[in-house]
Structure 1
Amino acid sequence: MIRSTLRRAALAPLAAATLAAATVGLAGTASAAPAAGFETLTPVCSAQLPITHPGCVAGTSYRGAPLPDGTPNQIVQLSGDDRFATAAAIAEHGFPEADVAVLVSGEDRHLVDALSAAPLARSLAAPVLLGTRDSVPAATASYLQKHQVKAVLLVGGADALGEATTGRLQALGVTSVARVAGVDRYATSRALVALMPKSTHGWAASGEDAHLVDALAASGPAARLAEPLLLVADADPLPAAASLTALGVTSTTVAGGPEGVAPEALAPLPAPQRAAGTDRYGTAAGLAAESVDRGVDADDLLFAPGVTGHLVDALAAGPLGRATLLVGDVDSSYDVVEAWFDTYGAGRVTAVGAVEIDG
């Protein structure tokens, strides 16, 4: 694991207090009235949802992550021994009660399949967990068993999550397993978005390998606002535009500059506006600021790795629904963090995966 060596000036307001221990061991069955001091997650299921969601059938609400208590300078560290354990730790924090989970591939080459999954997962009161083509890793299996998860939605084709993975889920007691996949990454993204609730605003990002990080930075805000996040193909943007329009979207925040989503791909989207910086860190900050303008809490911030090879941690953190800054050992990352704290102050900061904060 890498260690983020952020300048102390950037993190000077943050004390070395860790709340992670307070978020462990909160497993339980769904509640009619979730406990005070926690988010309440109420699933919104479309008629097209291919799994049976117990919460939608019974009208259940679930306890979510602890709410910020207003105390400044809090740090929550969520990480595990590997990416699968990190995703499970994030799930325990954000979804201490769950009947449903969304399973995506934890392999880097299939990262793109799940970029649109975070908003859907949160709308289902479900965490994003990681699997492999042929197995359910121990940390993922432990979460599913501990919470007695009954339904799992697979994202991606059989090359990402194969039949052996499906069989293992059934052996773990999962009674409803279904898959959302398309002929390519863009079709998979559209299939996920089609299961989202209606929204007047949406988010769009490049589906090209070199720019996937922009979609990761947008996933938390889109999830919090229950808005779709769609991958756009420069060569054929019309299907993405049609998908957004079908959901009622009348305005679109586009992640990144023209090197990611080309002008000709941006034009057909409903009332597009870019949120972009000079690099991935600046773009993430622009997206975070846009999300705050739209109602996301500036005092409940997520730090996720912006370094290639560790981006999967941001994928699992998307359903937490927080404004997200990407962190890396470069000056532009440090500058973005400093500017954020100068503008918004320091409330609760949650660092996931390879990001470690020293107070």
Structure 2
Amino acid sequence: MGAAVVRRAAAAAVACTVTLGALAASVVVPPPAQAATTAVRWWGADRYATAAAVSREAFPKGAHDVVVVSGARFPDALAAAPLAAQLGGPVLTVPPGPLPAVVRTELERLSPAVVHVVGGSSAVGDDVVRQLAPLASGGVQRVQGADRYETAAAVATTAFPSASEVVLASGQDFPDALAAGSAGAALGSPLLLTERGTLPAATREVLTALAPARITLVGGPAVVTPDVQQQLRALLPGTVVVRLSGDDRYATAAAVARDTWETVPSPLLASGEGFPDALAGAALGAPLLLTRRDCLPSATARAFTDLSVQDVTGLGGAAVLSDAALGSTPCP
């Protein structure tokens, strides 16, 4: 995905709370981006085929580990992107029913030793797991909890025994968590989930165990209230809490990209109106920006300019990501 440069905020030495969304109001807005130099599309006939296409492009030589999540329900799937990056494999999505032929074919090509299923049987059914088992030489391992918060905590406990940074986002919707997951995947940081106004017990427990130096809270105060920030400060008084946010999901994703990468010559671009295609891309640890279906939001266009974008890889077919949006046609 190009030579993206990962950076860290310089103020990590002192415990504080920084709200980048508020700071953005005092920054001069740059001119709209020019159309990207080139644009390509990774896609399939549906969300399952698109995830398989992303896997083929990113892992042409196969993968030892593959992460499988529900492509129909987002809550348990959100924490999968940093897990897949940590394991060095792709995320594939499955429906509630039979394993799609396109997913089976991709798993046969990848020839994994282990398939890691994220989520309980209500997210990825036991029958699907039985169909997955013969496709992994070392079998299937399920990572789950009683709810979305416990599942994300279980992923963190399983794959991240230590982490200097944790990414935190709302578990009640997917857009901010998609951008958070891409940052976590790039930085080797787990993604934990929170309720709007209360830090769940499972999330508290993992944060206490990890005691990270920094918590990156993704999303504005309407999505995750200041009460959660106060609870974080009380739980871990020595930890820096940085909030990354914007006026909407597109601006928030742009804020995450600016904070995580110095330049982004080749970002991924996915719909901000659905989760499966963006989730498959977030697992690659590459910069992920979001768009409307039919046009490029102004916040994303400004990020193209700020981050020196040269070419874009779109995720998903024209039904979810139009040629106009992929070609940087601005929204009215």
Q: TM-score range by the shorter chain?
A: 0.7 to 0.9
Aligned pair partner of 1:256 in 219, 228, 232: 219
Instruction: Using the TM superposition, name which of 153-162 and 132-141 deviates more.
Output: 132-141
Aligned pair partner of 1:318 in 248, 273, 282: 282
> What one-letter code is carried by the residue in structure 2 that aligns with 1:206?
S
2:56 corresponding residue in structure 1: 92
* 3-state SS in 2 of match to 1:272: strand
The verdict on how the C-alpha distance between 1:163 and 1:274 changes in structure 2, with shifts beyond 3 A counting, is same
Aligned length: 283
Note if contact 1:238-1:268 (Cα within 8 Å) is conserved in structure 2: no
Aligned pair partner of 2:308 in 315, 327, 345: 345
Aligned pair partner of 2:40 in 76, 91, 111: 76
1:234-253 to 2 correspondence within 5 Å?
Answer: 234-253=197-216
2:243 corresponding residue in structure 1: 274
1:227, distance to aligned residue in structure 2 (A): 0.8
Note if contact 2:34-2:305 (Cα within 8 Å) is conserved in structure 1: no
Equivalents in 1 of 2:126, 2:204: separation in Å?
33
TM-score of the pair, normalised by structure 1 = 0.74
2:268 corresponding residue in structure 1: 302
1:116 corresponding residue in structure 2: 79
The verdict on how the C-alpha distance between 1:86 and 1:250 changes in structure 2, with shifts beyond 3 A counting, is same
Note if contact 2:114-2:136 (Cα within 8 Å) is conserved in structure 1: no
1:87, distance to aligned residue in structure 2 (A): 0.2
Residue 118 of structure 2 is aligned to residue 155 of structure 1 = yes
Equivalents in 2 of 1:130, 1:194: separation in Å?
22
1:158-237 to 2 correspondence within 5 Å?
Answer: 158-197=121-160, 198-208=162-172, 211-233=173-195, 234-237=197-200
The verdict on how the C-alpha distance between 1:222 and 1:302 changes in structure 2, with shifts beyond 3 A counting, is same
* 3-state SS in 1 of match to 2:297: helix
Note if contact 2:35-2:327 (Cα within 8 Å) is conserved in structure 1: no
Higher RCO (CA 8 Å, separation ≥ 6 residues)? 2
1:330, distance to aligned residue in structure 2 (A): 7.7
The verdict on how the C-alpha distance between 1:247 and 1:94 changes in structure 2, with shifts beyond 3 A counting, is farther
2:14 corresponding residue in structure 1: none
Equivalents in 1 of 2:251, 2:294: separation in Å?
12
Residue 107 of structure 2 is aligned to residue 144 of structure 1 = yes
* 3-state SS in 2 of match to 1:205: strand
Equivalents in 2 of 1:11, 1:215: separation in Å?
25
Note if contact 2:250-2:300 (Cα within 8 Å) is conserved in structure 1: no
Give the share of equivalent positions with the same residue, in percent. Answer: 35
Equivalents in 1 of 2:139, 2:95: separation in Å?
19
> What one-letter code is carried by the residue in structure 1 that aligns with 2:272?
G
1:287 corresponding residue in structure 2: 256
Note if contact 1:120-1:192 (Cα within 8 Å) is conserved in structure 2: yes
Note if contact 2:186-2:285 (Cα within 8 Å) is conserved in structure 1: yes
Equivalents in 2 of 1:300, 1:247: separation in Å?
33
Note if contact 1:98-1:126 (Cα within 8 Å) is conserved in structure 2: yes
* 3-state SS in 2 of match to 1:203: strand
1:65 corresponding residue in structure 2: none
TM-score of the pair, normalised by structure 2 = 0.79
1:131 corresponding residue in structure 2: 94
Equivalents in 1 of 2:200, 2:214: separation in Å?
16
Equivalents in 2 of 1:117, 1:219: separation in Å?
8
* 3-state SS in 1 of match to 2:124: coil
Equivalents in 1 of 2:185, 2:242: separation in Å?
19
> What one-letter code is carried by the residue in structure 1 that aligns with 2:163?
S
